[in-house]
Structures are given as C-alpha cells and as structure tokens.
A and B are shown apart, each in its own frame.
Chain A
Amino acid sequence: MSTLMNAPDQRRYDADVVIVGGGFMGAATAFFLRQRGRSVILLERGLVGQQASGVNFGNVRRQGRFLPQLPLANRSRAIWGRLPELLGEDVEFLPSGHVRLCYDPVHLDALEEYAKAARQLGLDLELLSQQTVRKRFPYLTHEVAGASYAPVDGHANPRLAAPAFARAAVRAGAKVIENTEIAAVEKDGEDFRATATDGRIFRAPAMLITAGAWGSLLSEQFGEAVPIVARGPQMSVTEPIPYKMREVFGVMTKIEREVVYCRQIPRGNIIIGGSTRGPAFPDIRRAYALPTSTMTQMAEIRRLIPAFGRLNIIRTWSGIEGYMPDDRPIMGPSGKVSGLFYAFGFCGHGFQLGPGVGDVMAELIDTGSTTTPIEPFQMARFAVPVAVAGGVDE
C-alpha cells in the first residue's frame, strides 16, 4: 500500500471565524457574518441541517417561551419575515397564526398572565374564551378550556431552512465544508484550530461551536463541559387532505403525554409532533421514532381533533436534539477563553430562534457585544467552582 495514499491531508484553511456544526445556528451565523464582511468557514460532519434543525416540527412560535427569551425570538421573527429577500429562496414560512390552548381551566390564568407579560416584551397575544375557540375552530375538541392566539407566528419547513441559509452563505462568500468530522478544537496562540479526522486544519482568531447535542464534546476541550442530554422528538405526518387548517395548534399542559401539536401545509399533509420524547444515540447519530410514542401521539391528536381519526399517518421520524437541565440553550461567549463562542443545546425550541441566533452571534463576534439580551443563556452559569488546594467546596 502506498504511504502517500494514507498521508493525512495537511491543507490549511484560514478565516476570521471558524464555525463547528452545520445546523441552523451555524448556517445562519455564517450567513450573517458574511453580511458583516467577515470571512467564515462552516464545518459540518454530515450534511447541513440533518440533525435537530431538519427533523423538528417547524414551529415558528414565540408564545409560551421563557419570557427573557422573547427579545431574541422577536428579533428572529422579524428576520423570518424577510427570508425570501435575504436568501433569495422560500423556506415555506407561513405566518398563519399560532394557537396555544389548554384543557384544564386552571391554566387559563397562566395564559392570561403570560399574555400580559409578553405584551410588555413586544409580543401581542389575543386571549380566546372557550366559546370563541368553539366558534373559530369548530373541529377542536370541546375539552378546550381556552387559548391564546398569536396572529403572526406560524410555521416553516425545517428540511429546507438550514440548507437555504448555508447556500445563501456560500453565495455570499462563506466556505461551507460538509462531510468533515472535527477531531480536536484548541486555542493555539492567538488562533483557534480545528483539526479534521483527515488531517485538514482550519484556523481563525474566533471560533463558534454550534454542534447541537454534540456541543459539550467540543466545549469540554476548552474545560467547559455541560450536562447536555440527547433526546429524540417524535414526529409523524398524515396523507394529504384539502388545505383548510391555517393555524398551528399546540396544547399547553403539565402532563408530558398530553403535549401534542399539529400544522397543515398547503400541500395538504398534517404534521404532528409532541407527546413523549424518545432516546437518541449521538454516537451512532441516530434517534428513532418509537412505536409506543406514535401510539400515544395518535391518541392525543385524536383527542385534540377527533376528525383526524379518519386520516392515516404515512411516515414517522425522529432526530437528535440537545437538552439542558434548565431547558435553556447555551448562547454567548465562552466563560473561559476569549474569542470562543457557543450556540447549542436549544432544548427542542431552537427552530424559530435560528435566524435570530445567527444574527445575534454574528453581531457579538463582529462587535464584541449584542443589542439583544442573552445573559440567561451564558455558558458561565454552568461554571464549576474551582476547588482551592486543601480547601472545601461550598
């Protein structure tokens, strides 16, 4: 065997920013960095947008979020509305309205309080009484006690969104390198270095980790491991029927199996998500839709919209999402290494945020600060107190 053939590829690539992880966050940041004139390399182990970014439900939803996240979600929503002009492509975003409903009347107060607080933060919600829900959405179960309605939220196609950002980034001059597994990340003097398994080296004075459920495997190389857990959303889709249902519906509940949501696309299919999450296997990059989850989901969607009992589902799927113990992502600068940034662990609610995260991270990397508050998401919240020699941790 020729030794030459086995020699590692020693080519070097340099840019202002190296991004590791080609999901929605990475692809959007690459795009917005190019808008700011920064050279950028985006590295993806498989194909862009294959994992959490591509397998999720496609909700472009702001209501129900952790309130301090609303400014970011609003910034993102504004970009969603401009995507065709920004990207030159349609990712099937439809601002067709989002309905968050509850079965248990005790949750009505919570919906009302949320709406009040959200209004202060720039999100207008309409509260719908049980009678209004019945009148406006007669196909919903009469169990619905009330709802809040976000008129300009909606849904988009997760299979298209991240790849569309990556293609637009490439057209704007970014290097997007797929099928490239990064073995090591480190800081080497002034520069960061990412070394691929085939020996290629990527260098830049700034690095952004956007590796989703695999984020901690990279951040721990900088001494910042976090307790991220991989889970698999459980999705299904029906055969197509005439397009009638414009709004996205989601159940607000404290009971995990009751969580169910659905949306119809103009093609006619109804996409269903929610109920129990499944396990995911980051080492083999697979997560499976479990038959038991499908069964639960069918029972719960039938409860929400009884007429769906006449439809068939034709496909189910899952994928790998990263969850943090406090259900908040990690977003912002490293707590330890200057020039290093993170945006991962979006806990099943990152799709709507994608464009906003890209814009904010590009701003942060380019200018050193951001006009949108992201403090609650700092990596530093997981910093472990350093034990003093001979001392005792408190």
Chain B
Amino acid sequence: MAQPRVIVIGAGPAGVRCAQTLVAAGIRPTVIEEGRRDGGQIYRRQPESFKRSYETLYGDTADRAKSLHSDFDALRSQIDYRPETLAWNVANSMVYAVKAGVSTPVPFDALVVCAGATDRLMPIPGWDFAGTYSLGGAQIALKAQACSIGRQVVFMGTGPLLYLVAAQYVAAGAKVAAVLDTSPFSLRIGALPKLLAQPAALAKGMRLVASLKRARVPLYSGVKLIEITGDAHDGVQGVVFDDSKDVRRTVQCDAVGLGYHLRPETQLADLARCEFEFHAGRRLWMPKVDDMGRSSVKGVYLAGDSARVLGADAAEASGRLAAFAVLQDHGHKVPADQVQAAEASLARIRRFQAGLNQAFPWPHAQAADLPDHAVVCRCENVTAGDLRHVVNEMGAQEANRAKAFSRVGMGRCQGRYCGVAGAEIIAQAAGVPVELVGRLRGQAPIKPLTIAVEDPA
C-alpha cells in the first residue's frame, strides 16, 4: 500500500511529536516550518552561534525542551524538512509553500496544522506607541536574541504567561517596573479545584510569583488599565491604571509587554474550509475538531494551540493524537495504550486550563468600554469610535461587514491582533451577543507575500 503524503505545518511541540509518530509508522512526512529552527515558541531554539544553556533558556522545562529538540534532530533524515518556509495558502489538496521568494505547491493526502497561537490582545489607549509588545513577542526577544524590550518594563494583561515572562525578565537581569493583572486575586482561589488537576503546573505558577516578590517587583491584581502614556516621537513613557481599590496609579517605563492568554492561529484551517464553533468560556471562535484532531474537512487535522490553546504539554499529546488519527484513517493499526495515554493527559490539561480561564478571564467589558479615541486596529489606524460609527450609523453588526466599512482588520496582520477585541466593541455597540458578530474570515496569503514570488514551474 502506498504511504499517504502527509504535510505537517509547524515544528513546535505539536508538529515535532506528530512527525515523530508518523515516522515511527513508516511515513516520511513533509514538515513546513516558518522559523529558522524547530522548537516552536515555547521551546524556541536560539541561533546556532548562541551559547546559553538549556537551564538558562528554559528553566524547569529544560528537560522537555532538550527532549523535543534532540528527538527532532534525530528525525531530520527521515522527513522532508522545510524550514524558513511559509505555508501561505491551502487549496485543492495542496499547500502553497513559499521559501526565499519561490512558491511551491505541495500536494497532500493528509494535512496536520500545528500552527500555534499568538497573544490575545486588548487594545488600550497608547498601545500604538513604539515600545508596546505582546507578551509572546517580549518572550521571544529574550529567548531568541537575549534582548529585553526596554530598560524598565511593565508587564500587563492577564494569564499565566504574564507571570512567566515577567519572571524570565527578572531572571535575565532586566528591570521589571510592575506586573499589572486585570484579574482579581479572588478568582484564583475559586479556580483552585480545577488548577489542582496539574499540581506541578500550579506549583510552578506559585514559584514564579514568589520569584517576582523576592525581586521586589510591584504586583497588582484586579486592576483597570487606563492608558499607556507617551508620544509618537519617544514612544512609551508610562502606564496609568486604577488598582483594586480604585486608586489611580502611574508607573514609569519605556516598554510594555501586553497580553491576555493566547488565540489560536486559525487562518490555514479557515483556508482549508474547516468549520468553526464559538467557545463561550473563552469567547473565541475555534475550528471544530474531534478528540483526535480531525477537523470537519476530510484529510485536514489540527493539533496543538492552533486547534485549542492548551499549552506546550497538551500540544505534544495532541500532535501524537493527530498523527494517530492520520494513521487510523489510512488503515494503519495504532497502539491503543498510547492513544489512551495521550487522551488522558489531554483531559487533565483541559481541566487545568478551564481553571486558568476561570482564574484569569478575558476582560471583555474593557474592550467594550474603550474610549472612542483608542486605536483598535494598529495596521489601519481604526479607532473604537470609528468602529462604533460603522455599527451605529452604517448598520454593520457583523465582523466582516464592519471590516468592509471601517478597514478594521484589513491591514498586514489581517485582524490577528484586533479581531477579537473588535468583535467585543461591535457587539457592545450593536447590543448583540459577541457570537452573533461572528469572526473575521481568513484570507490568503496568511502573511504578506512578495509580488516577486516565483513559480518554479
């Protein structure tokens, strides 16, 4: 029997475990990776010439990082590996992969999208000043290039990444001016039963907070973020917020790391015409998948954070499961015990993540309350007021209609960073539930594509 042609998009934890499982079954998958090296974001590898140790780079996940990297190194001769390659489109059972300005159609029988996630961002007045980064971006600057985003950095938003990145900055010797969490501390207590599904992860979170306290980093919970101050010339100069007792405070800084958990990268699933569903708990649209990662489209599988944002450990498990699903669907026998083990591990992580969502909720009311002058879409310079205008004066109540009228989400990032908050603003202005606003449809190319692109044929 001819082996199926399998493409795995992404060489992060999901993609690596998926490729490894396929190789073990005698399949030689094509692995398309946008970055220079494998490892994804959380286990991002430093450039070859950098010499930091695993312990320095990954802390208490050094073993997992080492295992993932060395397993991938061992796979290299058994896969068709294409780094620095962007899968810019999917159509007619082909992935269009562009590398160094040449776009090659790669046919597939099975496509496993392990495209990861990006920060979910909440606009705030002043976030368009230079010096505002996403938490993920701040982390990558440190991990990949050993750079801090500023001399005095404020981290703000909510979620575990907030504390992780702040602690990593402190450990690297950077000055962290404050950590501002929009979620009140009381919610963390309420979420404890669910968080106990992964005691080690919970303990790690507590260690991170303790390390920040030891370093005398001011920590605030239950804050309301008011604005990032600064100007167009010098960029970020400070942050203004109300603390949990409604006292207005100011912190000086020259950079801000901002984020509210992650949102899945779903554009490839969208271009592959997968169905989506709304998840009320996270207030996010995500592609429909079964327990093993099968999407609604035959031959298209989703794993890791691009299917469900559950973190790196879940990504490894779901990458294996998606490979098993591919194998099953092509008549291979799969080891039932391994499938069960991966499913059990995922179930535990899902419970833990439900606890995280409860402890660190997306403060959607803040998006709805943004002042009219706040920029929502930074690519196109569309303000909250512009968005409310197209709802109130032009009758736009649906995300793509509001995009057509206002240009929100029409720029380079294609709504990755403004789409979720934009939907909240539209919903509030229109007086409808956010799920009725819908989601911005993905449009190729998923990232900017040079007009100089060549077709090798």
Identify the A interface with B (CB < 8 A): 47, 54, 159-160, 163, 167, 238-239, 267, 288-291, 294-295, 298-299, 301-302, 308-317
Indicate if the CB atoms of B450 and A309 lie closer than 8 Å.
yes
Indicate if the CB atoms of B398 and A313 lie closer than 8 Å.
no
Indicate if the CB atoms of A167 and B103 lie closer than 8 Å.
no
Q: Jot down 20 A-B pairs with beta carbons below 8 A, ordered by A.
A: A160-B404, A163-B405, A288-B91, A289-B443, A290-B91, A291-B89, A291-B94, A291-B103, A294-B89, A294-B444, A294-B445, A298-B453, A299-B455, A309-B450, A311-B450, A312-B448, A313-B451, A314-B411, A315-B410, A315-B443
Given A47-B401, A291-B94, residue A308 in contact with residue B444 (CB < 8 A) = no
Indicate if the CB atoms of B444 and A291 lie closer than 8 Å.
yes
Please tell me if B105 contacts chain A, counting CB pairs below 8 Å.
yes
> Which of B96, B407, B443 sits near A291, CB closer than 8 Å?
B96
What mask results when residues 78 to 95 of chain B are scored 1 for a CB within 8 Å of chain A, else 0? 000000000011011010
Indicate if the CB atoms of B444 and A316 lie closer than 8 Å.
yes
Chain B min CB distance to A231 (Å): 16
Chain A min CB distance to B453 (Å): 5
Indicate if the CB atoms of A289 and B444 lie closer than 8 Å.
yes
Chain B residues whose CB sits within 8 angstroms of the CB of A289 once the complex forms: 443-444
Given A294-B89, A298-B451, A299-B455, residue A314 in contact with residue B398 (CB < 8 A) = no
> Which of B105, B404, B443, B453 sits near A316, CB closer than 8 Å?
B443
Nearest CB in chain B to that of A313: its residue: B449
Given A289-B444, A316-B444, residue A309 in contact with residue B105 (CB < 8 A) = no
- Beyond the given pairs A291-B103, A295-B455, A299-B455, 7 more chain A to chain B contacts, judged by CB atoms under 8 angstroms and listed by A's residue number, are A159-B404, A311-B450, A312-B449, A313-B448, A314-B414, A315-B414, A316-B444
Chain A residues whose CB sits within 8 angstroms of the CB of B412 once the complex forms: 239, 314
> In the docked arrangement, what's the CA distance between A160 and B393, Å?
13
Nearest CB in chain B to that of A240: its residue: B411
Chain A residues whose CB sits within 8 angstroms of the CB of B395 once the complex forms: 163, 167
> Which of A163, A238, A317 sits near B394, CB closer than 8 Å?
A163
What mask results when residues 390 to 411 of chain B are scored 1 for a CB within 8 Å of chain A, else 0? 0000110010010011010011
Please tell me if B2 contacts chain A, counting CB pairs below 8 Å.
no
Chain B contact residues (Cβ within 8 angstroms of A): what range? 20 to 34
Indicate if the CB atoms of B398 and A238 lie closer than 8 Å.
no
Chain A min CB distance to B347 (Å): 35
> In the docked arrangement, what's the CA distance between A163 and B402, Å?
12
Please tell me if B452 contacts chain A, counting CB pairs below 8 Å.
yes
Given A291-B89, A314-B445, A316-B443, residue A238 in contact with residue B451 (CB < 8 A) = yes
> In the docked arrangement, what's the CA distance between A290 and B448, Å?
16
Cβ < 8 Å to A, chain B residues 421-455? 443-445, 448-453, 455
Chain B min CB distance to A9 (Å): 20
Indicate if the CB atoms of B443 and A317 lie closer than 8 Å.
yes
> Which of A47, A299, A312 sits near B398, CB closer than 8 Å?
A47
Chain A residues whose CB sits within 8 angstroms of the CB of B398 once the complex forms: 47
Chain A min CB distance to B131 (Å): 23
Nearest CB in chain B to that of A157: its residue: B404
Nearest CB in chain B to that of A176: its residue: B395
Top 10 nearest A-B pairs (CB, nearest first) are A312-B448, A309-B452, A159-B404, A291-B89, A291-B96, A295-B455, A315-B443, A308-B451, A298-B451, A314-B448
Chain A min CB distance to B295 (Å): 17
> In the docked arrangement, what's the CA distance between A291 and B104, Å?
11
Chain A residues whose CB sits within 8 angstroms of the CB of B105 once the complex forms: 291
Chain B residues whose CB sits within 8 angstroms of the CB of A301 once the complex forms: 451
Nearest CB in chain B to that of A237: its residue: B410
Chain B residues whose CB sits within 8 angstroms of the CB of A313 once the complex forms: 445, 448-449, 451
Chain A min CB distance to B400 (Å): 9
Indicate if the CB atoms of B451 and A309 lie closer than 8 Å.
yes
Chain A residues whose CB sits within 8 angstroms of the CB of B88 once the complex forms: 291
Indicate if the CB atoms of B103 and A316 lie closer than 8 Å.
no
Nearest CB in chain A to that of B410: its residue: A315
> In the docked arrangement, what's the CA distance between A311 and B103, Å?
16
> In the docked arrangement, what's the CA distance between A199 and B412, Å?
44
Chain A residues whose CB sits within 8 angstroms of the CB of B445 once the complex forms: 294, 313-316
Indicate if the CB atoms of B444 and A311 lie closer than 8 Å.
no
The CB with the most chain A CB atoms within 10 A, among B103, B394, B398, B450, is that of B450
Chain B residues whose CB sits within 8 angstroms of the CB of A316 once the complex forms: 443-445
> In the docked arrangement, what's the CA distance between A302 and B450, Å?
11
> In the docked arrangement, what's the CA distance between A290 and B445, Å?
11
Chain B residues whose CB sits within 8 angstroms of the CB of A295 once the complex forms: 103, 453, 455
Chain B residues whose CB sits within 8 angstroms of the CB of A315 once the complex forms: 410, 414, 443-445
Nearest CB in chain B to that of A309: its residue: B452
Chain B residues whose CB sits within 8 angstroms of the CB of A163 once the complex forms: 394-395, 405
> In the docked arrangement, what's the CA distance between A314 and B449, Å?
7
> Which of A54, A239, A291, A310 sits near B452, CB closer than 8 Å?
A310
Chain B residues whose CB sits within 8 angstroms of the CB of A298 once the complex forms: 451-453
Indicate if the CB atoms of A54 and B455 lie closer than 8 Å.
no
Nearest CB in chain B to that of A296: its residue: B455
Chain B min CB distance to A245 (Å): 14
Cβ < 8 Å to A, chain B residues 360-399? 394-395, 398
> In the docked arrangement, what's the CA distance between A310 and B92, Å?
29
Indicate if the CB atoms of B451 and A239 lie closer than 8 Å.
no
> In the docked arrangement, what's the CA distance between A382 and B455, Å?
42
Chain A min CB distance to B267 (Å): 11
> In the docked arrangement, what's the CA distance between A288 and B88, Å?
15
> In the docked arrangement, what's the CA distance between A91 and B452, Å?
32
Chain B residues whose CB sits within 8 angstroms of the CB of A312 once the complex forms: 448-451
Nearest CB in chain B to that of A311: its residue: B451
Chain A min CB distance to B246 (Å): 41
Chain B residues whose CB sits within 8 angstroms of the CB of A309 once the complex forms: 450-452
Indicate if the CB atoms of A302 and B414 lie closer than 8 Å.
no
Chain B min CB distance to A284 (Å): 10
Nearest CB in chain A to that of B88: its residue: A291
Nearest CB in chain A to that of B271: its residue: A288
Nearest CB in chain A to that of B91: its residue: A291
Chain A min CB distance to B170 (Å): 37
Chain A min CB distance to B413 (Å): 9
> In the docked arrangement, what's the CA distance between A290 and B450, Å?
16
> In the docked arrangement, what's the CA distance between A315 and B442, Å?
9
> In the docked arrangement, what's the CA distance between A47 and B92, Å?
28
Cβ < 8 Å to A, chain B residues 140-162? none
Cβ < 8 Å to A, chain B residues 56-101? 88-89, 91-92, 94, 96
Chain B residues whose CB sits within 8 angstroms of the CB of A308 once the complex forms: 451
Nearest CB in chain A to that of B441: its residue: A317
> In the docked arrangement, what's the CA distance between A314 and B450, Å?
9
The CB with the most chain A CB atoms within 10 A, among B89, B394, B405, B451, is that of B451
> In the docked arrangement, what's the CA distance between A312 and B444, Å?
12
Chain A min CB distance to B40 (Å): 25
Chain B min CB distance to A49 (Å): 8
